[in-house]
């Protein structure tokens, strides 16, 4: 995974737990062999060069954590580049010459201990339930995995967890429709955002036009610039053509970027002048009803579920999944 120190701690904890489990079951002590593989869930179709950074960090975590063997899976780049990561870590960084470099680090040791303790508590609960087979048959495993997956998906959808180039800092000029079929199968965190982005690309290819979002800035300089930058990222994640300006003539969506006290007057001025839906950047809770009466259609802010919001606006703009 991409959490560098957590991945180191997890592998270090495995060796502690292996020894503890053998002692608990009265087994003769033996050495556990650990094979690690770079993750697939955090890899992305868009901005694929970031995948190289991801797998390099993951490989480094695995080696520092003490894995015995490692598979680095290419994703969005050639296989020989994945091989090169092995060689760089071994031949240039000399990581094969060190043993447990995290030992003695208070942070790594504390994290390893915390992971081991929680894992041992879970192990004891599974044994108390009749063992792994019985625990799995009861549906507890599926429930735990579903809960973890939902938590990750929500963090990505609300952009609390950043996937560079996908749910934040998108390159709106990038086109990846032809490369979509080359992504590996299985569940990935970026899938929902990628589906939105590819839907926009197919629409643009079919109609010759990308939906245009106008960011209309007004009033307090600091607030309007911050909210415009937020919306540039937010709507850019859908592959929309997002631009700052004042003319609402050819906009498909108009986003008001201002301060909360100035929004109502701005909405009353702009809404009658355009047939495009008007959105407010922010969440002025005490003005929601008044702004809707003035013609505002929606609100986007840091608490918004970007996947739901962008999908909804695609449907309202007539961007459907026609393949």
76-116 pLDDT, tens digit each: 677 888 899 999 999 999 999 999 999 999 999 999 999 99
Q: 231, 300 in Cβ contact below 8 A?
A: yes
Residues 96 and 192 in one domain: no
Q: 160 lies in a domain? A: no
Domain with 301 in it: what CATH number? 3.40.50.280
Q: 44 lies in a domain? A: yes
The confidence score (pLDDT) of residue 323 equals: 59
Residues 79 and 196 in one domain: no
Distance CA 317, CA 323 (A): 17
The confidence score (pLDDT) of residue 181 equals: 63
Q: 144 lies in a domain? A: no
The confidence score (pLDDT) of residue 320 equals: 83
Distance CA 294, CA 297 (A): 9
The confidence score (pLDDT) of residue 180 equals: 64
Give every CB contact of residue 230 below 8 A, 6+ residues apart in sequence.
281, 300, 302
The confidence score (pLDDT) of residue 200 equals: 96
Q: How many independent structural domains does the chain possess?
A: 2
Q: Which residues of the chain have pLDDT under 50?
A: none
Query: 106-128 and 4-24 helices cross at what angle (nearest 10)?
Result: 50
Residues 114 and 212 in one domain: no
Residue by residue, DSSP assigns 259-321 as -HHHHHHHHHHHGGG-SS-EEEES--GGGHHHHHHHTEEEEE-TTS-HHHHHHHHHHHTT---
The confidence score (pLDDT) of residue 84 equals: 92
| 126-150 pLDDT per residue, tens | 999 999 999 999 999 999 999 999 9
The confidence score (pLDDT) of residue 321 equals: 74
Distance CA 7, CA 10 (A): 5
Residues 62 and 122 in one domain: yes
Residue with tokens 């990935």: 188
| Boundary (domain end) residue, out of 70, 102, 130 | 130
Domain carrying residue 33: 4-130
**Model pTM score:** 0.91
Distance CA 106, CA 10 (A): 15
């Amino acid at each position: 995974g991409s959490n560098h120190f957590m991945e180191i701690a997890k592998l270090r904890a495995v060796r502690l737990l292996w020894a503890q489990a053998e002692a608990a079951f009265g087994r003769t002590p033996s050495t556990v062999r650990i094979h690690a593989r770079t993750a697939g869930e955090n890899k992305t179709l868009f901005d694929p060069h970031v995948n190289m950074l991801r797998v390099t960090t993951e490989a480094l975590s695995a080696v520092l954590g003490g894995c015995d063997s490692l598979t680095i899976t290419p994703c969005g780049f050639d296989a020989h580049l994945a091989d090169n990561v092995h060689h760089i870590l071994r031949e240039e960084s000399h990581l094969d010459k060190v043993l447990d470099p995290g030992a003695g680090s208070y942070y790594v040791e504390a994290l390893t201990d915390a992971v081991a303790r929680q894992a041992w508590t879970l192990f004891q609960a599974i044994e108390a339930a009749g063992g792994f087979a019985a625990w799995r048959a009861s549906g507890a495993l599926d429930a735990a995995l579903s809960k973890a997956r939902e938590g990750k998906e929500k963090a990505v959808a609300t952009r609390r967890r950043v996937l560079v180039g996908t749910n934040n800092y998108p390159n709106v000029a990038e086109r990846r429709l032809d490369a979509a079929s080359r992504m590996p199968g299985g569940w990935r965190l970026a899938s929902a955002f990628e589906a939105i982005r590819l839907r926009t690309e197919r629409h643009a290819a079919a109609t010759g036009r990308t939906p245009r979002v106008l960011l209309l800035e007004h009033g307090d300089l600091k607030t309007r610039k911050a909210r415009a930058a937020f919306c540039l990222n937010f709507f850019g994640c859908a592959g929309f053509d997002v631009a700052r300006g004042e003319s609402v003539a050819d906009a498909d969506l108009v986003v008001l970027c201002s301060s909360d006290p100035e929004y109502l007057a701005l909405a009353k001025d702009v809404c009658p002048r355009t047939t495009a839906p008007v959105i407010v950047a922010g969440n002025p809770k005490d003005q929601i009803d008044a702004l809707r009466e003035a013609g505002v259609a929606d609100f986007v802010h840091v608490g918004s579920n970007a996947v739901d919001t962008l999908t909804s606006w695609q449907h309202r703009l007539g961007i459907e999944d026609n393949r």
